[in-house]
């Protein structure tokens, strides 16, 4: 009897990937506001440990026995990805946010697509195209305009915080580039569970005691903010981002980071009553044009096509 042919995986509609990436950035965009609310009672390291531990528990319950399906050769890579995306990334961002202003953090976050394209080109995971590079540049201009880059400052008190946010951006960008091929053989849910479990093992012993102590003194507002931070910009955002990273190039995933200032602006309008002026409209338009150009540059044949998955990767 002839073996059944291996059917290729079904193509995911691009519209679904784009919608997912927009949702991811909407979730991540709430972190500065919600994170600073939590850090009124919980220190940055405790907040990072709370995110990692809460997410690890949820993902472990969802995945359970599937954790053992990961090949032994992939465990060192998962440890590396956990450092890049969870341990180093979260600690550096929250510690940096506590030492610098939200404006500075919003401006510096716009370096993620630039770092991602740089790493992807240096590691030969993608090839340069004028459309892709132009999209990154246009989107960067819009994001900086919206984040009010003229208010960015390098005062002595904020230098360390600024450097921490930049380091956080570079680690996240490197993770986007390195993790994508591994996601071809490890399901996003399983990989995300592993990353948070490893992160929790490292961060919980050093940060969770301060988080528990802080929440014990926090009012209901602090508990609600902590729950939001764990569920929305952590569990949901990381899982959806991993799924999208499997379906799109690293630079295409990273370019959507420019939407975070848009989310922050909408929150400022909805919560604080700030006015959405002409500057906001122009900046948002530049961001959407940049996102569109990078999507086109990665899907029109200008970018490097990855080789098809091997038979083992289909299993």
Please tell me what DSSP assigns to residue 83.
I
With a cut of 60, say whether residue 2 has pLDDT above it: no
Q: ∠ at Cα 238 (12, 265), nearest 5°?
A: 95
Instruction: Give pTM, 2 decimals.
Output: 0.80
DSSP H or E stretch at residue 143: helix 130-146
pLDDT bin (cut points 50, 70, 90) of residue 157 is low
Under a CB-based contact definition with an 8 Å cutoff, are residues 116 and 251 in contact? yes
The Cα 165–Cα 97 span in angstroms is: 7
pLDDT digits (tens, 9 = 90+) for 8-45: 456 778 889 999 999 998 898 888 778 888 999 999 99
pLDDT bin (cut points 50, 70, 90) of residue 183 is very high
The Cα 160–Cα 311 span in angstroms is: 48
pLDDT digits (tens, 9 = 90+) for 93-113: 888 888 877 767 777 788 888
| CA dihedral (31, 200, 110, 19) positive or negative | negative
Under a CB-based contact definition with an 8 Å cutoff, are residues 81 and 195 in contact? yes
With a cut of 70, say whether residue 303 has pLDDT above it: no
pLDDT digits (tens, 9 = 90+) for 37-93: 899 999 999 999 999 999 999 999 999 889 999 999 999 999 999 999 999 998 998
Question: Among 80-84, 117-121, 286-290, where is mean pLDDT lowest?
Answer: 286-290
Under a CB-based contact definition with an 8 Å cutoff, are residues 269 and 275 in contact? yes
Question: Among 73-82, 201-210, 232-241, 282-291, where is mean pLDDT lowest?
Answer: 282-291
């Amino acid at each position: 009897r002839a073996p059944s042919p291996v059917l290729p995986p079904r193509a995911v509609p691009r519209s679904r990937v784009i919608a997912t990436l927009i949702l991811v950035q909407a979730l991540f965009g709430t972190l500065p506001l919600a994170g600073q609310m939590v850090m009124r009672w919980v220190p940055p390291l405790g907040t990072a440990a709370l995110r990692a531990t809460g997410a690890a528990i949820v993902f472990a319950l969802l995945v359970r026995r599937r954790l053992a399906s990961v090949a032994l050769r992939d465990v060192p890579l998962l440890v590396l990805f956990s450092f890049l995306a969870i341990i180093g990334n979260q600690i550096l961002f929250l510690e940096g946010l506590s030492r610098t202003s939200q404006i500075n953090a919003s401006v510096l976050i716009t370096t993620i697509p630039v770092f991602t394209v740089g790493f992807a080109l240096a590691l030969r995971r993608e090839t340069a195209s004028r459309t892709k590079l132009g999209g990154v540049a246009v989107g960067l201009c819009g994001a900086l305009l919206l984040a009010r880059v003229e208010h960015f400052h390098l005062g002595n008190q904020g230098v360390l915080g600024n450097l921490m946010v930049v380091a956080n951006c570079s680690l996240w960008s490197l993770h986007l580039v390195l993790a994508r091929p591994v996601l071809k053989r490890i399901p996003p849910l399983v990989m995300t569970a592993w990353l948070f479990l490893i992160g929790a093992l490292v961060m919980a012993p050093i940060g969770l005691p301060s988080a528990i102590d802080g929440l014990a003194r926090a009012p209901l507002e602090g508990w609600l903010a902590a729950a939001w931070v764990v569920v929305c910009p952590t569990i949901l955002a990381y899982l959806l981002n991993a799924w999208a990273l499997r379906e799109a190039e690293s630079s295409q995933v990273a370019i959507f980071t420019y939407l975070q200032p848009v989310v922050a602006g909408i929150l400022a309008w909805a919560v604080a009553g700030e006015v959405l002026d002409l500057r906001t409209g122009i900046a948002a338009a530049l961001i959407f044009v940049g996102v569109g150009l990078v999507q086109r540059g990665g899907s029109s044949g200008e970018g490097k096509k990855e080789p098809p998955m091997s038979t083992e990767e289909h299993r």
